[in-house]
Structure 1
């Protein structure tokens, strides 16, 4: 037991926190400026790069008794949602660690000097603002991970929830298939930085049939939601997608493709893409019981949200994700 404790303690320092100073990418959070854009806010400035030395970053080893998947473990990079790094991301990391995968989590908002789970981020920041911060950090995390000798850089997966799912979908159009085996995206809105014109790796899309998170009406379902193009920002760091001609400056009153519509277009091109609709599920289904609520924001705008799913649905969803990832190893 003494030696086991010493091994686990050593693993914590090797995997969890300690990196060479040369790897660090310090950033002055004051460079990220918050500005008003109509009824919402967004961010301007250079935005933070991924910093492996940031306090929110954890690269965790597979659990001690988990299945060994080679001399070096595969890695799952987890892109957080619009509130920042939270319980969902930590639970997903734990699930993957138990299955023999290393995981990389981080908080892009903290790297930019913002407070996770604040009303600013959850209710008042535009999807475009959130997604640009998350995307830049996730892209940097991927570029850092493929050079990391602790993991199998030929077996990387990317997973994201909500705004993190929109980022993960864009990553599917940006990564090299020699490194990334697949992407899992749960509850990704098409509003923000949009979705890419093509993908380079297999993509599993997951939506709750009852997911109305952020909707203006109670039946404003996420997978069918196609907002006006004015809700989009064309982000040049992301792969080419529909926001090139559908953004707040180009065709602002036209509707953007819904996630369902975009999926159908990518599927028709012959790409390896799959959409699973979980009946009765809300937003962030995998680890929480189903609940629904609404809130009236300033200006009279309603904010509907349903979250979680039944225990049976959660178990099925976890199996679905694990089977997809296993099939791509």
Structure 2
């Protein structure tokens, strides 16, 4: 089993995007064999006092987005939450309830044992800073920081795993945990694509709205026969990294039926972003987003053979042999 972080929580939505007839193998649903702040560990403790230290030194990997090496903690850690902005970013300010995309390393205060890090996995984390999604230490330490910042924190058990610890990772219920977190970006339910608008010239294809105010874009389906092949066109072209076939992405999306124009799924309607692996969604999504740039809005038209064919999801408005139309904003890749 691929090693992954316990930070990842089960995503909302996506009931209509999972590959039909397959076992759910997404990172968000598998058991983990590593440890870091997890949803089930979230405490009901009162807010901590934020203090400056003590915090162990970062002895190597001192640049943003470099894997850090952190010394063992010296003496006794604070019983409160120690937080230091090691590198101050200039991006958007993180608010509670936002999704952050970050690289991080976690180790035990008194032994220096690294129990989890995303740098070696070469996979950034996307997680919501909300109670029930992540331990309170991260929630309190990162709220108010700016994207582009490196933050070091020392999290006592009260705002970490509590007295139960995480035995499978060698974390005891008395251990204070040290994290270094590189905040790559922060997103919320009003986040949208950012880039250059691309002309939509084909009258035989749906026209997607280009608003970037966080509201759902319009999707106008033409009175024409649906295309037989996959369509994946930029509506807004971003300037970020290209998405790979095995990547996990953080997105806003809206889906409608070609025949009726009726919406059947939308993160905008739920008021919550979602993330997923391109290996675990219908082929039309996987093929349509592969190679597209982060920051973009993409029109995807999925014919039945790359969607659900004659086996649509139960309880959805998708019918047998439906052609699906999506507007997808690629906010980040992990």
TM interval, shorter chain, is under 0.3
Of Structure 1 and Structure 2, which has the larger fraction of its residues in strand? 2
Which of the two has higher C-alpha Rg? Answer: 2
Give the TM-score normalised by structure 1.
Answer: 0.22
Higher relative contact order, structure no. (Cα contacts within 8 Å, ≥ 6 residues apart): 2
TM-score, length of structure 2 as denominator length: 0.22
